[in-house]
Chains A and B, each alone.
Chain A
């Protein structure tokens, strides 16, 4: 569905943000894009949306080259940026005016998601709180039926109940033919939703792996002392002991600790990444 090859991009007058990045994404999956601030998460999403053009390398989304921005491509990709401003319109006029641009738009889905978010048609978009606006935008994005949904820090600005609603809505609406990329640094909000982890570092994908594969090969646990789990690959001091990552030798089942894995991957630890690569 998405394939990037050796993609390089830099903003005018600065060093490359994306530097020889290659990536393949499949439909029916939710990708969690992790990276430090300024690692280029948004830049990568903008490349996929055709909002920035690669300096070199190729970028293909479905059968399209994003930078050409053909209407059929724009109908099949929707991006919800981290910050945005919605026009001075009511909820229903916004939907009425924008929906016709998306042939796959499903008004019922839109209506039902807005209802779950407690947003009504007569609400003025400009008078909604930032969190409410974000929820509206997410609802609209899902209702477009876009094949590739790009969400940039979607849970930023959402309160706790809204984050729950957000997870329910994503769980309930992603179709087999859709692919979703969620960039986030608030891993804990979303880790139960994510199929595949993408870690972006120094302009490249440092790690791409399904959660199931990671927990098959690695085990994440809390131990009281270092000795307890044999020789861990990576350890971090935590409340009441250590959080460790170890090789999964006895088919143990553990819950992936994304934060721990992220820290381990960025720590320059060279024993973990090879285990996850085929």
Chain B
């Protein structure tokens, strides 16, 4: 995995895990890779993966069973979606607004484009 230069690595790893869960590659109640396994796959320090898992555990996305390892929480997908929505509204949307404001793009123009985009997505599925 290529890490970007902005976000701290442990959060990027947490993001990576969330992606796997959201994409249903790792199903709810399923065991996820151990700290060591994920560290090897991502070529990072196991202590960093440990930190990511602890972070995700605090958020309720994963949970630990003593001696067995880490498992995806039953409501993990819903939680991730909620978290990401919150993050988007808090961090990315203001930046997006700033840009369209600077470029003088009106909401009407965006609405048109958004409707077209939604249609394309619906067709694709």
Contacts and interface: CB of A to CB of B under 8 A. Distances in A.
Contacts of B11: 253
B110 interface: no
Chain A interface residue number, banded: 20 to 34
B45 interface: yes
B5 A255 contact: yes
Q: Shortest 3 CB-CB distances between A and B: which pairs?
A: A167-B43, A171-B39, A172-B40
B8 interface: yes
Given A253-B11, A254-B8, A255-B8, A171 B3 contact: no
Interface in A228-278: 253-257
A158 interface: no
The residue in B5, B8, B39, B42 that gathers the most chain A C-beta atoms within 10 A of its C-beta is B8
Interface string A204-223: 00000000100100000110
Given A221-B6, A255-B7, A193 B51 contact: no
A96 B44 CA distance: 32
A192 B5 contact: no
Interface of A: 28-30, 164, 167-168, 171-172, 174, 192-195, 212, 215, 221-222, 253-257
Given A171-B39, A172-B39, A255-B3, A193 B44 contact: yes
Given A172-B40, A254-B8, A192 B47 contact: no
B46 A174 contact: yes
B6 A192 contact: no
A212 B55 CA distance: 13
Interface string B1-40: 0011111111110000000000000000000000010011
Contacts of B12: 255
B21 to A, nearest CB: 20
Given A172-B36, A212-B51, A255-B3, A192 B8 contact: no
A136 to B, nearest CB: 20
Nearest to A194: B45
The residue in A168, A171, A257 that gathers the most chain B C-beta atoms within 10 A of its C-beta is A171
